[in-house]
Amino acid sequence: MPASAKVGYARVSSEDQNLDRQKETFAKCGVERVFEDKASGKDTNRSGFHDMMKFVRDGDHLYVASMDRLARNLKDLLSVTETLQEKGVSVHFVKENISLYPNGEQSPISKLLVAMMGAVAEFERSLIKERQAEGIALAKKRGVYKGRMPISPTIIAKAKERIAMGVPIARVAKDLKVGRTTLYKYLKA
């Protein structure tokens, strides 16, 4: 039987953010392998997340710097931790100092804390979104909110040129730091 592994899962919300702080946390915990995502945590549709879920096995320990890095809403947080526990994986949230063990080995207080802190994180996220929407509405009233800047014709020309050379659109979008959906929209026009 293979030895258990110490695995880390790190996530930031966008490409321009870095994972250094989370990786530093994992180094202190003795994590051997880190799975990463630079994507929103609004759902669990993330490649690094899926790779991590496929990789972990019975006896492994998953370290996450903070609960909101694993899931942004309570439903996903509870579902993911339950799935991991059913696989025999221990889940450790470093910032919150909470560990969940397979087969219900954790204390009832740990389970309660995960649910409470997950709910608080979800509530905090909805407040941020609400304040953001209010700020945008006020800026629009004052006439200072213009939305996103359009993509320059130069970038669109570069994209068309690379696509014509056979480079996949996803690769072109990533290289030019443009969203794939946005690139499709501009290519249609």
How confident is the model at residue 120, as a pLDDT? 80
Determine the 3-state secondary structure of 42 from DSSP.
coil
Q: Where does 46-168 have alpha helices with state H?
A: 47-55, 67-70, 74-86, 108-142, 153-164
**9 touches 74 (CB < 8 A):** no
pLDDT band for 74, please (50, 70, 90 cuts): confident
The Cα 78–Cα 59 span in angstroms is 20
| Order of strands, sheet of 61-64, starting from the edge strand that comes earlier in the sequence | 33-38, 6-12, 61-64, 90-93, 98-100
If one compares 127 and 175, the residue with the highest pLDDT of the two is 175
**33 touches 7 (CB < 8 A):** yes
Assess whether 152 carries a catalytic annotation: no
Residue 147 pLDDT greater than 80, yes or no: no
Residue 111 pLDDT greater than 80, yes or no: no
Catalytic residue among 13, 40, 99, 126: 13
pLDDT band for 1, please (50, 70, 90 cuts): very low
Which helix or strand (DSSP H or E) is residue 95 part of? none
Which helix or strand (DSSP H or E) is residue 10 part of? strand 6-12
**96 touches 117 (CB < 8 A):** yes
Q: Which residues pair with 124 in a beta bridge?
A: none
Kindly report, residue by residue over 42-68, the tens digit of the pLDDT. 778 899 999 999 999 999 999 999 988
Q: Tokens standing for 119?
A: 């709910």
Q: Where are the domains of the chain?
A: 6-119, 153-188
Rounded to 10 deg, the angle between the 153-164 and 180-188 helix axes is: 90
Architecture of the domain defined by 6-119:
3-Layer(aba) Sandwich (3.40)
